[in-house]
């Protein structure tokens, strides 16, 4: 028998944060069943009615649940690395209530049945809500376009070849044109494949010293320069994922200034780490795209500050131990990120680069707006997808405690501030910190 929906719950003594409306004030919020009823500074000034359950936030922040727009779930096909359930548990522990998954599963998400499977399976589990991207090309082969219209109708939010760049210019042109007729977005992994081939870290002095093949920063810039011409040609909506170079960010900045329909995101490793994290062949710091120079890292921070970068995503890419505990050149790319997304992003607040409201906006309202999702804001009548967090609580990142099946975090052992205390989805408490 299905669980009964929760009754009326009052979250009191909270610092309400709603980036969509600019609200940052002490107050309370009331939910009834699955939805938000009302919220604000003056709510319950005369006391909470006796028939309402009370959750005392004790001065902690109450915000919309995070919307993570770039997650690799590994189910179907590689459940030993991550499953929809383990990713859901990791997500809610990180305050993520909605996540958008890449199509690079086995089978690939390139038909209606697989789109529907992912959505149905996530609903059955009842943790974080999962929305799929569909493959831009069949089998992610970069040749024949997927049925974009049918897949969008079935629930695909946007179209991407995941961790592969759409390398063929004609294919990208057709994808942008076709997607534009359905009002959906093409998401690109902006890396020129021929330049990146064989590379395992950022090209430069450190790669030379370690004797490792490098991926030049120009690989990002060259793909973006080409794609901006195609956006101009087609008018299609284009989103660049995980930007990591100063030149790449500048290309998007100039394209936006020209009024092109482009957007982009980055991930915490690219503003919190640089290539030095590779250290002595540390495979947990082998990411795609690779960690770049300190100048590039600072450019990512500046891109977030000036609004060039629209959103922050976890870029969650779980790998098992067998894939990572190999010589650096042979190890798989990727790092887990669902449970470190909030605390590492909060470094931008603690270091004075952005306000707390701005950070939460990059993690909630902004990705929801890009993907036309009804999420990421406090609003009467909206689903009660919430997180309560302490922005200042210090701790050290300990992957052994992750709920994710995989533990390959580039932030292993990093001291951070900020911890999720409660996560609520559709009014139900799905996570509470111990």
The catalytic residues are: 315
In the three-class reduction of DSSP (H, G, I as helix; E, B as strand; rest coil), residue 85 is classed as helix
Which residue, 157, 67, 84, 72, is CA-closest to 127? 84
Distance between CA atoms of residues 213 and 18, nearest Å: 45
Contact 244, 289 (CB under 8 A): yes
Range 253-273 burial, b when 16+ CB lie within 10 A, else e = bebbeeebbbbbbbbbbbbbb
Pairwise CA distance, residues 216 & 196, whole Å: 7
Dihedral angle sign, alpha carbons of residues 135, 141, 142, 143? negative
| Strand duo 129-132 + 214-215: pairing | unpaired
Q: Residue 95 and residue 391: Cα distance in Å, rounded?
A: 12
User: CA 333 to CA 428: how far, in whole Å?
Assistant: 35
Which residue has 């669980």 as its token pair?
Answer: 3
Closest CA to 103 of 70, 145, 58: 70
State the helix-helix crossing angle for 169-181 and 218-234, rounded to 10 degrees.
Answer: 50
* Bridge-based pairing state of the strands 415-425 and 386-396: antiparallel
SS (H, E, C) 2-58: CCCCCCEEEEEEEEEEECCCCEEEEEEEEEECCEEEEEECCCCCCCCCCCCEEEECC
Q: How many residues does the chain have?
A: 434
Token pair listed for 127: 């943790």
Interstrand relation of 237-240 and 185-188 (parallel, antiparallel or unpaired): parallel
The C-alpha R_g of the chain, in whole angstroms, comes to 21
| Helix axis angle, 218-234 to 246-257, nearest 10° | 20
Q: Is 317 helix (H, G, I), strand (E, B) or coil?
A: coil
Residue 144's Cβ-count burial label (10 Å; 0-12, 13-18, 19+) is exposed
């Amino acid at each position: 028998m299905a669980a009964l929906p929760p009754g009326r719950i009052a979250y009191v003594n909270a610092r309400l944060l709603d980036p969509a409306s600019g609200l940052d004030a002490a107050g309370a919020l009331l939910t009834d069943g699955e939805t938000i009823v009302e919220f604000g500074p003056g709510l319950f000034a005369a006391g909470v009615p006796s028939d309402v359950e009370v959750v005392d936030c004790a001065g902690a922040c109450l915000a919309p649940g995070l919307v993570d727009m770039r997650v690799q779930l590994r189910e179907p096909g590689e459940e030993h690395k991550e499953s929809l359930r383990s990713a859901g548990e990791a997500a809610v522990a990180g305050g993520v209530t909605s996540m958008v998954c890449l199509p690079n599963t086995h089978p690939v998400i390139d038909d209606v049945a697989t789109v529907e499977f992912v959505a149905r399976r996530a609903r059955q589990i009842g943790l974080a809500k999962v929305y799929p991207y569909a493959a831009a090309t069949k089998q992610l082969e970069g040749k024949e376009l997927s049925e974009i219209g049918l897949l969008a109708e079935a629930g695909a939010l946007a179209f991407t070849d995941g961790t592969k760049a759409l390398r063929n210019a004609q294919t990208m042109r057709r994808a942008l044109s076709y997607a534009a007729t359905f009002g959906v977005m093409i998401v690109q992994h902006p890396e020129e494949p021929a330049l990146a081939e064989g590379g395992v870290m950022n090209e430069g002095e450190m790669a030379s010293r370690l004797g490792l093949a490098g991926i030049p920063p120009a690989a990002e810039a060259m793909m973006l320069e080409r794609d901006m011409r195609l956006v101009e040609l087609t008018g299609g909506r284009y989103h660049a994922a995980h930007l990591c170079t100063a030149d790449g960010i500048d290309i998007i900045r100039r394209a936006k200034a020209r009024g092109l329909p482009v957007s982009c995101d980055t991930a915490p490793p690219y503003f919190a780490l640089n290539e030095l994290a590779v250290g002595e062949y540390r495979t947990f710091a082998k990411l795609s795209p690779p960690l770049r120079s300190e100048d590039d890292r600072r450019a990512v921070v500046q891109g977030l500050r000036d609004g060039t970068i629209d959103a922050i995503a976890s870029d969650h890419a779980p790998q098992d131990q067998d894939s990572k505990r190999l010589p650096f050149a042979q190890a798989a790319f990727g790092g887990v990120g669902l449970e470190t997304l909030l605390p590492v992003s909060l470094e931008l607040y603690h270091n004075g680069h952005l306000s707390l409201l701005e950070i939460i906006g990059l993690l909630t309202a902004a990705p929801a707006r890009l993907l036309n999702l009804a999420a990421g804001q406090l609003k009467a009548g909206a689903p009660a997808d919430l997180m309560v967090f302490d922005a200042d609580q210090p701790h050290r990142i300990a992957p052994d405690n992750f709920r994710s099946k995989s533990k390959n975090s580039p932030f292993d052992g990093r001291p951070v501030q900020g911890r999720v205390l409660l996560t609520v989805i559709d009014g139900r408490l799905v996570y509470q910190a111990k």
